Amino acid sequence: MSPANTTNAFGTSRVAAEPQQYGFGTLAIHAGAEPDPATGAVIPPLSLSTTFKQRAVGDFVYEYSRSDNPNRSNLEAAIAALEHAKHGFAFSSGSATTATVLNTLAPGSHVISVNDVYGGTHRYLNKVAHSMGVETTFVDLADVNNIRDAMRDNTRLVWIETPTNPTLRLVDIAAVSEIAHEAGLYVIVDNTFLSPYFQTPLDLGADVVVHSATKYLNGHSDVVMGVAATNSDALASKLRFLQNAIGAVPSP
């Protein structure tokens, strides 16, 4: 994995530089948490401002907190590091993450999803994405070769969750990724129930990993949030645009 080159003026970056050289505990504590350059504070200060001063028109580090915010940058760098990714993204909920990722698809696209997918994801695919012209086929992935039978000319991605919520069924990420990539399809993995402590789907071939951070990543039942991570620059560009355009971002 190549080192990042997107550190901003505040010393923070969404892109993890060689995260695999550090242990999980080190990354969880230090990734994205650079000392404040103005004060030397080792804990990043909470930035509550919605608007930031520009040095000149169009010359800024941060402009508006929907588009970006120092605290979100810190969190996104940490998520990227923990998931062994180049790019991290934070959203207002796991469902907002799902919606944003699926909004990368054009009308007329087809999705293959594990049939035991989280209820909120099933609802979005069936009720919302479907109304926007995206069709989904739900497949039993106990046998990953069932993906081949479900493929169409307009299939664009495979959505899997492992272990599934709440029945804890498992899907072979590496095998699914191999089959999907042969056909030029993206693989999205919901890693909510294992967390990056136990599983890093990008290392197994997935293109995007998503979480409802409300659950194990947060761990205290006091935050509603979602996150995503990817090593694809092309997908990252789309997700960054949609993150700002849709605006389903967490509060600082």
**Token duo for residue 50:** 């919605």
User: Contact at 8 Å (CB) between 122 and 134?
Assistant: no
Active-site option among 36, 66, 123, 172: 66
Asked about 66 being catalytic, the answer comes back as: yes
Active-site option among 62, 72, 116, 118: 118
Asked about 215 being catalytic, the answer comes back as: yes
Q: Is the dihedral of CA 119, 172, 213, 251 positive or negative?
A: negative
User: Contact at 8 Å (CB) between 201 and 173?
Assistant: yes
What contacts 69, CB < 8 A, 6 or more positions away? 47, 62, 249, 252
**Token duo for residue 73:** 């940058």
* Beta bridge partner(s), residue 208: 188, 230
Active-site option among 22, 36, 123, 215: 215
Active-site option among 68, 116, 190, 207: 190
Asked about 118 being catalytic, the answer comes back as: yes
- Which residues carry out catalysis? 66, 118, 190, 215
